[in-house]
Amino acid sequence: MTTNNKYQIWLTFNGEKEKLRLPVLPEEVKISMGSKDQSVDIVGLGEILIAQSRPATEFSFSSFFPAAKFPGVAVQDLTAPITLKDRITEWKNSTKPVHFIVTGLGIDCYCRITKFTPREAGGDVG
């Protein structure tokens, strides 16, 4: 069973030769666009903002890799969770960027995986 949804999350690597579609969409995708601007108080003028270059945009989300199909699975064929975990770990440890695509949100950029926290919870064997 495939969920027909305009939202899909893809990670591709090595010039699109390796592709991974998240089998379960996260409840939310957080986008953090910070600023390195500095605020300085100058006597007689007040607060002045000194513009700086912007830091990298950060994306964060949480999902899981199911070992068996259920109605929320967004892909036709499941890949073993350990295989997906190993693939993302390999990409994280590489110096090459990952192509991150979220259809429906207009996110399409090359980036680095800076944090990946795999875990296995009780009742989630596999």
Q: 47-98, pLDDT tens digit by residue?
A: 888 887 878 889 999 999 998 888 889 899 999 999 999 999 999 999 999 9
Identity of the residue numbered 75: V
User: What pLDDT, on a 0 to 100 scale, did the predictor assign at position 112?
Assistant: 95
- Determine the pLDDT at residue 2: 43
- For residues 110 and 97, is the Cβ–Cβ distance under 8 A? yes
User: How high does pLDDT run on average in the chain?
Assistant: 88
Give the 3-state secondary structure of residue 102.
strand
Place of tokens 């997906």: 84
| Distance (Å, whole) CA 61 – CA 19 | 18
Q: What is the pLDDT of residue 3?
A: 44
- Give the β-pairing of 8-13 and 98-103: antiparallel
Place of tokens 């429906």: 104
Q: Is the pLDDT of residue 121 over 60?
A: yes
- Would you state the pLDDT for residue 108? 96
pLDDT band at 119 (very low <50, low <70, confident <90, very high): confident
Phi-psi region of 72 (alpha: psi -120 to 50; beta: other; left: phi over 0): alpha
Question: Quick one: what percent of the chain has pLDDT higher than 70?
Answer: 92
Token pair recorded at residue 109: 């950029």
Q: What is the pLDDT of residue 18?
A: 95
> Percent of the chain scored above 90 by pLDDT?
59
- Taken as a whole, the chain contains a residue count of 126
Cα gap 76→79, rounded to integer Å? 10
108 against 74, higher pLDDT: 108
